[in-house]
Copies of this chain bind each other. A is one copy, B any other.
Amino acid sequence: MYDVGREAGVSHQTVSRVINDSPNVAEETQRRVREAMERLDYRPSASARSLAARRTRVIGVVTFVGAFFGPMSTIQAMEAASRARGYTPYTVSLADLELDHARALLDDLLQRDVEGLVVVAPTDEQAGLVDSVLPGDLPVLALEARLPGRPLVASDNELGGALAAEHLVSLGHTRIGHVAGPADWAEARLRTVGLERVLAERGLEVVAKVDGDWSARAGHEAWPVLRDAGVTAVYAANDQMALGLLSAMCEDRLRVPEDVSVVGYDNTPESEWYYPSLTTVEQDFRGVGEVGIQQLVRLVEDRAVERELLVSPHLVIRRSTAAVPPTVVPEEIS
């Protein structure tokens, strides 16, 4: 900085003012300083700045989720949104980590003096860990899954489940099977709750339910159970599991949607090109991320924040769902 000052014929103080866009610097001086910076290829040191200014302008993003399309889209959207607001995002992926290791990484985050944190901790165990490690006075926003005492931004999974259910019911299905997500995922439970509520309102209930692990394999393995229960429609808690179902049905020489309907969840880019094209609940992954950062920044800057903000998903109807096959009489099956 001193070098830049010398080069431009001003004091280091003035250089500092230029860097921080402070007023009271003559246009001309500003130009000279910037040119000097350019000539010397000078870049202010982030470490020194945050040390002196006592703020880092860094916000952390902590996720326990693996390399899947949805969560990753959300994270990329959060990174862009942070930058747009003048914060640098520092993302830490804690997927597949023992809790002890995860604890160390959270500590690393605190040492970097993040000003706030977005946490995506889908399972109850992960949420507990985070809650126990993070100091209560650090601004933390829970994303997708609840964290005790923290504001939440999430996709409305219960609504999503309801949307899928209403669609199937409106097509006349009464024997509906469900491939749910892992029971320790809050998101998965909510998607089930929405489904069951709508069915209950119609005096129906799920004919067969299998808990999967989100993988296509899980969907594939769930099918025999649902088939034996005589379902005419299946609601899978994500598109991958729906894909596994489609594959298993195909092997059974069943036609979708003529013989059985399938609804997925997420609207991943591929789901449109499954065969048949998948009816699914689309959630706005990027939108959740953007709203999340917006709320976190408000939290960091001490402004009012919604305690809970849900982003609505919507149903995308494609070719994998149709009316109940008229020829199939439930009695034949059960």
Contact = CB atoms under 8 A, between A and B. Distances in A.
Interface of A: 41, 43-48, 50-51, 56, 66-69, 72-73, 75-76, 79, 83, 88, 90-93, 95, 105, 107-108, 110-113, 135, 215-217, 219-220, 240, 243-244, 246-247, 250-251, 269-270, 272-275, 277
A73 B56 CA distance: 29
Contact of A111 (B44, B72, B105, B243): B44
Contacts of A247: 273-275, 277
Q: 5 nearest interchain CB pairs?
A: A67-B72, A216-B273, A47-B51, A250-B275, A47-B50
Nearest to A268: B270
A240 B217 contact: no
Nearest to A101: B83
How many copies of this chain sit in the oligomeric assembly? Answer: 2
Contacts of A243: 270, 273-274
Contacts of A215: 269
Given A76-B66, A105-B83, A275 B273 contact: no
A56 B90 CA distance: 15
A179 to B, nearest CB: 13
18 contacts: A41-B135, A45-B113, A46-B47, A47-B50, A47-B51, A47-B56, A51-B51, A67-B72, A67-B73, A67-B75, A68-B69, A217-B273, A219-B273, A243-B273, A243-B274, A247-B273, A247-B274, A247-B277
Nearest to A215: B269
A189 to B, nearest CB: 24
Residue with the highest number of chain B CB atoms closer than 10 Å, among A50, A67, A251: A67
A85 to B, nearest CB: 14
B274 A112 contact: no
A144 to B, nearest CB: 15
Contacts of A277: 247
A1 to B, nearest CB: 13
Contacts of A75: 67
A297 to B, nearest CB: 18
A66 B69 CA distance: 9
Given A269-B215, A269-B240, A76 B47 contact: no
A45 B111 contact: yes
A90 B60 CA distance: 11
Nearest to A219: B273
A240 B270 CA distance: 7
A84 B46 CA distance: 24
Contacts of A107: 43
Contacts of A73: 67
Contacts of A274: 243, 247
Contacts of A93: 76, 79
Contacts of A250: 275
